[in-house]
Amino acid sequence: MKIEELSPVAVWKNFHALTQVPRPSGHLEKIQAFLLQWGKDAGVETWQDEAGNILMRKPATKGLEGRKCLVLQAHMDMVPQKTADSPHDFLTDPIPAYIDGDWVKTHGTTLGADDGMGVAAIMAIMEDKSLKHGPLEALITADEETGMFGAFGLKPGELQGKVLLNLDSETEGELYIGCAGGIDVTASMQYLEIEPFENRKAWRVTLKGLRGGHSGLEISEGRANANKLMGRFMREAVLVCNAGLAEWKGGNMRNAIPRDAYAVITVPTRSKSKLMKLAEECQTLWNDEFATIESGITLTVEPAEMPESEAPEEIRDNLINAILGCQNGVMRYIPTIPDTVETSSNLSIVEIGNGEATFSLLVRSSCDSMKMFQAISLKSVFTMAGMKVKFSGSYSGWQPDVDSPLLAAMKESYRELFGADANVCVVHAGLECGIINAASGGGMDMISFGPTLMSPHSPDERVFIPSIPKFYDLVRHVVEQGVK
């Protein structure tokens, strides 16, 4: 069976069409053009705003004009992550999705079900002429994954609706009524490089095979962070082999747990065997430490071309110490909901070389004061290493409203459709709901939900096929029933 033939066909055919259009964050021209043309072909009023968002509007079925206007919302961009051996080009190639039992997966890349499934459901609703509904709007935002720029750029007055269905969650049967806020922390410095000492040899150290994943949804699973592991190796390489540091690159997305990293180092020629032994020991140790979480962690050492320069010893040590010292992972759980993460940080990207060093981290928290405390704690570590620290992209969390009329309507719809109660949750991830609400003047009634996805933001991303009919049935039911 082909993906576009799965049930419900209305959703899967649109999702398959989306996999054929490149849409990595920051490069959305092709998907924007596709959606504009799709709307025109479907006879749906469609336009693009100044922030690059695609908006659609569909008038109410005759006799239902008095209902509240519903806004269906998802984001068009996807996280471009792939395995080290994948030849995929996210700027030109379609996503190689395939069916594996109850899952839709892909070969060596992210799938884009985050949030392609949400966009596909919106398309299915907008083109369905059999539905009877009140006024409908759709907001498909740009560059959610890199900073929610589309949501931040939404102008007042673009949306008329005050009831928002955010289709960007990853567990079917859960209704999210709140989310974490976030802030980007960027530490940087410039330094004068030195020539490597004589009688040394250059090596490229490559760490790969980690699972990576979503830095909010999966941060509590204890997955290994490639930059933190490389920091551990570098500290030992300096102590055991007097290693010099010429280059380091790890991670490439602010909201993804880094799954690989590499460093170019120099060591005395006589230290080759020590270096090889150290790499072997680290690989064995890390596979033991993460045995129930990770599998197949590899740390390889290969000859490299001798660099013309490297970091001075003091700078090298300060950078390694900062990487080891900065907090990464869960900092605190919500005191009143002990199984839900409140505050975390992710050492997303490390880039060192050519006289510059830059570290990028994403701090998340559902508590604004703890978000800033965590950011300031990180700043303290990096400042001691001589780095300049900048905060940017701060946004507050979405505070829950347990008395929401939309929540009541959706709980009733879920029970009517499936004979069970939906779980009401707060998610430790950044959703666009609060930002869109603020841009629209406040007062929106909002719920986030979606089908079941696993490992978004990593090449292990997959979507659970049996969850799609239930997800789409719920969307249709709420659209048809409306909200009082």
Give the CATH number for residue 151: 3.40.630.10
Please write the tens of the pLDDT for every residue from 44-75.
999 999 999 999 999 999 999 999 999 999 99
Q: Specify whether 133 is located in the same domain as 87.
A: yes
Domain boundary among 365, 395, 425: 395
pLDDT at 337: 80
Percent of the chain, pLDDT > 70? 100
pLDDT at 483: 87
Which residue is catalytic, options 114, 137, 143, 144?
A: 144
Domain boundary among 395, 418, 436: 395
- Please say if the pLDDT value at position 8 is more than 90: yes
Please state the domain count of the chain.
2
Please write the tens of the pLDDT for every residue from 390-430.
999 898 888 888 889 999 999 999 999 999 999 999 889 88
Q: Read off the pLDDT of each residue in 459-463 and give the average, rounded to a whole number.
A: 95
- Please say if the pLDDT value at position 438 is more than 90: no
* CA atoms 33, 69, 403, 416: torsion sign: negative
Q: Specify whether 300 is located in the same domain as 192.
A: yes
Domain boundary among 358, 373, 395: 395
Across the chain, what does the average pLDDT equal? 96
pLDDT at 400: 84
Q: Specify whether 65 is located in the same domain as 189.
A: no
Instruction: Say whether 127 is catalytic.
Output: no
Give the CATH number for residue 275: 3.30.70.360
Which residue is catalytic, options 77, 168, 170, 260?
A: 77
Tokens 């410039």 sit on residue: 190
Range of the domain at 266: 183-395
Tokens read off for 379:
């700043």
Q: Specify whether 415 is located in the same domain as 341.
A: no
Q: Specify whether 117 is located in the same domain as 167.
A: yes
Q: Specify whether 197 is located in the same domain as 148.
A: no
Q: Specify whether 239 is located in the same domain as 345.
A: yes
Amino acid at 209: G
Instruction: Say whether 281 is catalytic.
Output: no
Q: Specify whether 138 is located in the same domain as 25.
A: yes
pLDDT at 415: 97
- Please tell me whether the overall predicted TM-score, pTM, comes out greater than 0.85 for this model: no
Q: Specify whether 18 is located in the same domain as 66.
A: yes
pLDDT range class, residue 91, cuts 50, 70, 90 = very high
Q: Read off the pLDDT of each residue in 79-92 and give the average, rounded to a whole number.
A: 93
- Please say if the pLDDT value at position 442 is more than 90: no
pLDDT at 84: 83
* CA atoms 403, 404, 408, 414: torsion sign: negative
Give, in order, the Cα–Cα distances in Å from 348 to each of 225, 245, 253, 260, 323: 8, 20, 6, 11, 11
Q: Specify whether 460 is located in the same domain as 415.
A: yes
Q: Specify whether 33 is located in the same domain as 114.
A: yes
Q: Specify whether 211 is located in the same domain as 269.
A: yes
